[in-house]
Amino acid sequence: MTKVLTDSRSIRIKGRSFLAVVLSPDLPLDEWLVLLDDLAARSAGFFLGRPVVLDVSDLAIDRAQLKSLIEELGQRSVRIMGIEGAKPSMMEPGMPPAMKGGRPAADFEVEEKEPQPVSEMRNSAPDKPAVPDHKPVVTQSLVINEPIRSGQSVIFPEGDVTIIGSVASGAEIIAGGSVHIYGALRGRVMAGSIGNASARIFCRRLEAELIAIDGVYKMAEDMDPRLLGQSVQLWLEGDAIMAETLI
């Protein structure tokens, strides 16, 4: 007797890829949590509703410390969807699942640049992931022919994003490649989000709440006042975001 296995009660299970923020803590954890609190305080709602992977690779902690860290993050409304790099002895029932095989992210070589930057801005983000040696190929691009309003998010890990208009305060752009904004940048922009250190940010008017390239970030109050309101490009050199005005 043959039984048909496609009735209306079938359960569909599909594979799907999503972009998540990766947090890679440093020791001592209490000092790292202070830095995280500072980021959250200066960029309200940054972690709300955002999937987060906790990367504890090469972090010398035990199960109790990992459990305490997850609880501390939960109190800060940071939702951990999975844990990467944890030893089996560190895991226990009730913890987020162990994860591996995330999408490869690699550093790109940055060419030497002659122009003198208007400002050198330094600040290493706590969520910059460790990267393997090979390089991904970023070839696609997304063009949006309208402004991005407050509360909207554009997430495009496959390549560059171009906005024909402004990015409002409270809006965000996350791109695997570079970001081009033909208008005012008042929200948050994260370029090179999957490990592209050669990504750049271009905008007609810089008034950003937060900018980041390959996990290195800078808040509005930390930017050189001479850049505010100007047409600028930003790029990464080592762990420093460099900027210069555009003519």
Q: What is the pLDDT of residues 75-117, one digit of tens each?
A: 888 888 888 888 888 888 888 888 766 654 433 333 333 433 4
CATH class of 21-99: alpha beta
Domain boundaries for CATH 3.30.70 within the chain? 21-99
Q: What is the pLDDT of residue 11?
A: 56
Burial of 11 (0-12, 13-18, 19+ CB in 10 A): exposed
Per-residue pLDDT band at 13 (split at 50, 70, 90): low
pLDDT recorded at residue 103: 54
Domain with CATH 2.160.20.70 in the chain: 119-245
Q: Rounded mean pLDDT of 169-174?
A: 88
**Whether residue 160 has pLDDT greater than 90:** yes
Q: How confident is the model at residue 15 (pLDDT cuts 50, 70, 90)?
A: low
CATH number of the structural domain 119-245 = 2.160.20.70
Query: Which pLDDT value is given to residue 134?
Result: 44
Whole-number pLDDT of residue 229: 92
